[in-house]
């Protein structure tokens, strides 16, 4: 049974949103709705316009026999800026201050709406890059990696500090943890990353950058390639960072354990 335009648009929107960065041939929709390709093309033109107007994303049309459409989720700069400003305010809340000047983030990194936005914001930076895998380190980076992975439609891999029998053979590297000045070990399951993969590294928090540097080392061991580094928040670090090229959504400018104040501002996301 032929499906009406209004009905096609609803289901098509759903399908496109759940299959980001995937080439979908027009014939797929044509069959799904038993409708002519010309009608499908018109539907997609409407969707493209609305996605653009509302800042949902880009709908790329690829012409030709092997063509189709690709939905690329993005976020408008203004929307991202407002969201990050609001986040900076939340992170500055006094009761987030933990002993040692650490900041409590765990509640935020378990909220689905926040993770959706953070995933969309980080993914927007890499829409013109080919990303084969998103890499992070257990445990607190995982929600960020998964959120980004949803929007880039690339799998994520989890580096661990402790080996588990359920990982199979692993590759390990040693790295210098910048903040504690200790040598630590991290490892990645050998079959979780293919040689030559293009890897985006994400994490929740960066101080000296030692952990991220360790992941760079692992990427080298897999003959893979680093596409970029994005962190949810970076600390004000007095010293030489192991990583210089990165994006941060938030910047913890100052933590005063005496007056119990935290000052968090937007990170370098909008500068790069």
Q: Which of 78, 112, 240, 259 binds a copy of itself (CB under 8 A)?
A: 112
Rounded Cα distance, 263 and 272, in Å = 22
Rounded Cα distance, 77 and 89, in Å = 18
Q: Which of 100, 240, 244, 245 binds a copy of itself (CB under 8 A)?
A: 100
Largest CA distance in the chain: 70
Cβ–Cβ contacts within 10 Å for residue 264, how many?
21
Rounded Cα distance, 164 and 157, in Å = 14
**112-124 and 142-152 helices cross at what angle (nearest 10)?**
60
Work out whether 156 is an interface residue with a copy of itself (CB under 8 A): yes
Rounded Cα distance, 248 and 231, in Å = 5
Q: Which of 24, 40, 70, 103 binds a copy of itself (CB under 8 A)?
A: 103
Q: Please state whether beta strands 247-256 and 225-235 pair in parallel, antiparallel, or not at all (unpaired).
A: parallel
Torsional sign, CA 90, 95, 99, 100: positive
Work out whether 102 is an interface residue with a copy of itself (CB under 8 A): yes
Work out whether 74 is an interface residue with a copy of itself (CB under 8 A): no
Single out the residue of 25, 36, 96, 105 nearest to residue 64, CA to CA. 25
Q: Tell me, residue by residue from 33 to 62, as one string, x for binding to a copy of itself by CB under 8 A and - for no binding.
A: -------------xx-xxx--x-x------
Binding-site size, a copy of itself (CB under 8 A): 57
Contact 250, 264 (CB under 8 A): yes
Work out whether 166 is an interface residue with a copy of itself (CB under 8 A): yes
Q: For a copy of itself, which stretch binds (CB under 8 A), given 75-83, 124-132, 155-163, 253-261?
A: 155-163
Nearer to a copy of itself, 64 or 122 (CB): 122
Rounded Cα distance, 264 and 34, in Å = 53
Least Å from the CB of residue 148 to a copy of itself: 10
Q: Which of 2, 14, 37, 77 binds a copy of itself (CB under 8 A)?
A: 14
Contact 91, 262 (CB under 8 A): yes
Work out whether 155 is an interface residue with a copy of itself (CB under 8 A): yes
Q: For a copy of itself, which stretch binds (CB under 8 A), given 137-145, 214-222, 239-247, 249-257?
A: 137-145
Q: Which residues bind a copy of itself (CB under 8 A)?
A: 5-7, 9-11, 13-14, 17-19, 46-47, 49-51, 54, 56, 98-100, 102-107, 110-113, 115-116, 138-140, 142-143, 146-147, 149-150, 153-158, 160, 165-168, 189, 191-192, 205
């Amino acid at each position: 049974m032929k499906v009406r335009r209004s009905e096609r648009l609803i289901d098509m929107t759903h399908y496109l949103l759940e299959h980001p960065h995937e080439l979908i041939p027009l014939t797929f929709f044509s069959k799904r709705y038993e409708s002519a390709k010309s009608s499908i093309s018109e539907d997609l033109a409407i969707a493209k316009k609305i996605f653009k107007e509302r800042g949902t994303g880009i709908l790329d049309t690829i012409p030709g026999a092997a063509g189709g459409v690709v939905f690329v989720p993005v976020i408008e700069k203004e929307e991202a800026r407002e969201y990050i400003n609001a986040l900076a305010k939340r992170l500055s809340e006094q009761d987030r201050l933990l002993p040692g000047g650490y900041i409590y983030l765990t509640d935020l990194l378990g909220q689905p709406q926040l993770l959706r936005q953070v995933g969309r914001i980080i993914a927007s930076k890499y829409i013109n890059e080919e990303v084969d895998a998103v890499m992070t380190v257990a445990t607190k980076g995982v929600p960020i990696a998964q959120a980004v992975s949803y929007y880039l439609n690339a799998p994520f891999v989890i580096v661990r500090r402790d080996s588990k029998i359920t990982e199979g053979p692993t590759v390990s590297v040693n790295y210098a943890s910048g903040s504690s000045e200790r040598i630590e070990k991290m490892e990645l399951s050998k079959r979780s990353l293919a040689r030559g993969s293009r890897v985006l590294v994400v994490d929740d928090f960066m101080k000296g950058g030692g952990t991220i540097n360790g992941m760079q080392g692992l990427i080298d061991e897999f003959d893979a390639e680093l596409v970029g580094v994005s962190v949810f928040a970076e600390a004000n670090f007095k010293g030489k960072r192991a990583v210089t090229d990165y994006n941060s959504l938030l910047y913890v400018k100052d933590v005063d354990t005496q007056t119990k104040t935290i000052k968090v501002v937007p990170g370098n996301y909008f500068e790069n």
